[in-house]
Structure 1
Amino acid sequence: MAPTEETGNSSVIATMNRTCLLDEQFLTKMIPPILIIIFILAASFNSLALWIFCSHMKKKTPIDILMLNLCIGDLLFTLTYPLIIIYRSNNNYWIFGNFVCKLQIFMMYSSVLASVFFLTCISNYRCYMIIKPIHTQIRITKKCTIVICVLIWTLAGLFAFPSFFKMNVFELNGKIQCLSVNQPNIEEDLLSVTIAFFILCFGIPFISLLVSTLLIQRKLTNLTLTAHSEKNRHAVRMMMVILCIFVICFLPLNVTRLTASIVGVKSCKNFKQIGVVYYCCVLALYANNVLDPFVYFYAGTKYRSKLINAIKGVAFCHKLPIAASSTKSNIESKV
């Protein structure tokens, strides 16, 4: 059946043409409270990081530029959370129209892809910096890093761009829906697209991350105990954090999506079971924006020192009124 068009709000509503559907009613209770907590943490952590990058780090190194772009990508992804919270709280009823649905999906895809690529570049840069520090400083300049960032954003946008045309709102049980595994025509080119995404947007970056981690460990193992500086120890911790992000946030979602595309809706029981697991993995993906600021802490000594100084400054400002009030009370008691 062909899609029908609503002239009232200029949106295309795809017609449901399959019988195997996942009951997503459980999402109205599961997603809003969890996502509200993730949103508060992600918005707070990344806003603080962006403030430090922009206000306290005037002269940025290549890795600072990479982290700044990663922070921007995380904030863009975080901005999509309120619409998801409203959508799920509103009993899975999408009230924002077809264009906003398309834009929402595009922002989610492009932001996640940008995060994957920037995390990969940060890990590779840190690995290269430890193995060949002199070559890194000569070859990887600020201009080179800016070009890499532009290429990453362009690549992420190109990968996510087809979703803007592919995805539409659709009507199910009298409700307009978006962001659903019940999307009509979900089987069209699903397997080939999913395999391509799995290889290019997860497989290659993940293998690159593993290789960088092994190279760093090998390099540090060959160094003497006196050569193990604090900087190198932080580099190892940073690699572990990025590896955990990939394993917790990206791996389950990609494996589940690949499994769902292989199973398809032909096995309805398996499709429904995988659909529930898929949404749990999506929640893990949302948590990525909370974990990325830990990468900033271990990736750059400048950011780490600025963050510690900012926290100490805030704590000192809070102590001043207390000290002043205690001094005043002591004077009054003496009087």
Structure 2
Amino acid sequence: MGNSSVTSAVNTTCLFDEDFLITMMPPVFTILFILAASFNSFSLWILCFQIKKKTPVDILMLNLCAGDLGFSLTNPLLIIYHSKNNQWMFGNFMCKLLVFLIFSSMLVSVFFLACISSYQCYMVIRPIQSQNRITKKCTIVLSVTIWLVTCAFISMAFFTTNVSEKNGKLHCLSLNEGITSGNLLSSTITLSILGFMIPFGFLFVSTILIRQQLSNPALTSQSQQRGQHAVKMMVIVLFIFMVCFFPPVVTRLLVATMDHGNCPLFQKVGKLYYSSLPFLHLHGILNPIVYCYASTKYREKVIQILRRWKCVKKSMATSSNLNVIEAKL
């Protein structure tokens, strides 16, 4: 192609056949985009404009929601890419930018999920100290730090990511680019540790600590109720990790570590990896459930809005029926 930034496929390497993505990904990503963008826009509206006095957990949820919304907004480019027969038409820089947005938004979401879970754990174990030590200012500083560190780390994508060429077409976010450039294994291990193992460890330990605290007979009924509520939230977060993040991490590790000389097996594992990617995008739809357990004010606002909409809908139905009756008379 005459472009030094484009990685040419190596003929001696088994490259993955990505043609099945043309029919699979556009409808799946379209549905995920509509649901995730709608849910997170609604949640962001509540957190920004309906909750006036924000607590530390509200600030963490707002940042998590912003990360999820940013992640969902990358879907239109992916939909166009796969709809155009997996041909990337937006240039090498836009491919780098897309990779940066996807992985930075994903890591930010994972980190804030871990922060919310750790906050709930600390609230249950040390209820008095947590109110004095975890302030809004401290939470804002933590949030800014997470965004800056994550973006600085993922900015390496601008130096390591390029479009790849296969059969005369340019591809973005392709496993083949990582294989031919030789950085697939290192990037996979780094993302697996930072984006799954460490946050999952925080969640698992937090859940155990809360369960141990609940076994204390000296706890008041209010503390027991708060602890049980926190455990339910932890279970949902662990479920999100296992359903949304675990399959892509495991399958990508398999692809990165397996012998590419066994081409038929590589094709099957690669197909498993690509099939697990929609689950990764599913976390933006499931995270709003966590908000209902993490914040009482958020849950109350959602209930108020739903009741208001229900009353409006009932009023409109009544008005419509009256109009029909008047028309008959």
TMscore range, shorter length: over 0.9
How far residue 248 of structure 1 moved from its aligned partner, in angstroms, is 0.8
Structure 2 counterpart of 1:70:
64
Q: Is the 8 A contact 2:61 2:291 kept in 1?
A: yes
Structure 2 counterpart of 1:4:
2
Q: Does 1:248 align with 2:243?
A: yes
Where 2:165 maps in the other structure, the secondary structure is: strand
Q: Is the 8 A contact 2:50 2:301 kept in 1?
A: yes
2:103 to 85, 101, 109: 109
Q: Does 1:294 align with 2:289?
A: yes
Structure 2 counterpart of 1:17:
10
How far residue 5 of structure 1 moved from its aligned partner, in angstroms, is 1.8
Q: Is the 8 A contact 1:231 1:301 kept in 2?
A: no
Q: Taking structure 1 as reference, are residues 62 and 270 closer, same or farther at Cα in structure 2, changes over 3 Å only? A: same
Larger mean CA deviation between 269-278 and 63-72 belongs to: 269-278
Q: Is the 8 A contact 2:7 2:180 kept in 1?
A: no
How far residue 155 of structure 1 moved from its aligned partner, in angstroms, is 2.0
Structure 2 counterpart of 1:9:
none
Q: Aligned partner of 1:90: which letter?
A: K
Superposed CA RMSD: 2.1
How far residue 190 of structure 1 moved from its aligned partner, in angstroms, is 3.4
Q: Aligned partner of 2:144: which letter?
A: V
Question: Residues 175-232 of structure 1, C-alpha deviation per residue, up to 9 Å, x if partnerless?
Answer: 1211111116545243334323322332111111000011112212324684465543
* Structure 2 CA distance for aligned equivalents of residues 184 and 42 of structure 1: 28
Where 2:150 maps in the other structure, the secondary structure is: helix
* Percent identity between the two aligned chains: 48
Q: Taking structure 1 as reference, are residues 226 and 134 closer, same or farther at Cα in structure 2, changes over 3 Å only? A: closer
How far residue 314 of structure 1 moved from its aligned partner, in angstroms, is 1.4
* Structure 2 gap ranges (5+): none
Q: Is the 8 A contact 1:106 1:160 kept in 2?
A: yes
Where 1:222 maps in the other structure, the secondary structure is: coil
* Structure 2 CA distance for aligned equivalents of residues 46 and 199 of structure 1: 27
Q: Aligned partner of 1:307: which letter?
A: V
Structure 2 counterpart of 1:257:
252
How far residue 330 of structure 1 moved from its aligned partner, in angstroms, is 5.6
Q: Is the 8 A contact 1:14 1:184 kept in 2?
A: no
Aligned length: 327
The structure 1 segments of at least 4 consecutive aligned residues displaced by more than 4 Å after TM superposition are 184-187, 227-230, 327-333
How far residue 274 of structure 1 moved from its aligned partner, in angstroms, is 1.7
* Structure 2 CA distance for aligned equivalents of residues 101 and 167 of structure 1: 8
Question: Residues 116-175 of structure 1, C-alpha deviation per residue, up to 9 Å, x if partnerless?
Answer: 100000000000001101111111100100111111112221231111221111221121
Q: Is the 8 A contact 2:9 2:180 kept in 1?
A: no
Q: Aligned partner of 1:134: which letter?
A: I
Structure 2 counterpart of 1:320:
315
* Structure 1 gap ranges (5+): 7-11
* Structure 1 CA distance for aligned equivalents of residues 55 and 258 of structure 2: 46
* Structure 1 CA distance for aligned equivalents of residues 262 and 157 of structure 2: 25
Structure 1 counterpart of 2:146:
152
Where 1:171 maps in the other structure, the secondary structure is: strand
* Structure 1 CA distance for aligned equivalents of residues 183 and 319 of structure 2: 68
Q: Taking structure 1 as reference, are residues 184 and 230 closer, same or farther at Cα in structure 2, changes over 3 Å only? A: closer
2:302 to 303, 307, 310: 307
How far residue 267 of structure 1 moved from its aligned partner, in angstroms, is 3.5
* Structure 2 CA distance for aligned equivalents of residues 228 and 149 of structure 1: 28
Question: Residues 65-122 of structure 1, C-alpha deviation per residue, up to 9 Å, x if partnerless?
Answer: 0000000000101010011111111111111111111111100010010011000000
Larger mean CA deviation between 250-259 and 127-136 belongs to: 250-259
Larger mean CA deviation between 221-230 and 134-143 belongs to: 221-230
Where 1:176 maps in the other structure, the secondary structure is: strand
1:82 to 73, 76, 83: 76
- Could you tell me the TM-score, scaled by structure 1's length? 0.91
Structure 1 counterpart of 2:199:
205
Structure 1 counterpart of 2:20:
26
Q: Does 1:272 align with 2:267?
A: yes
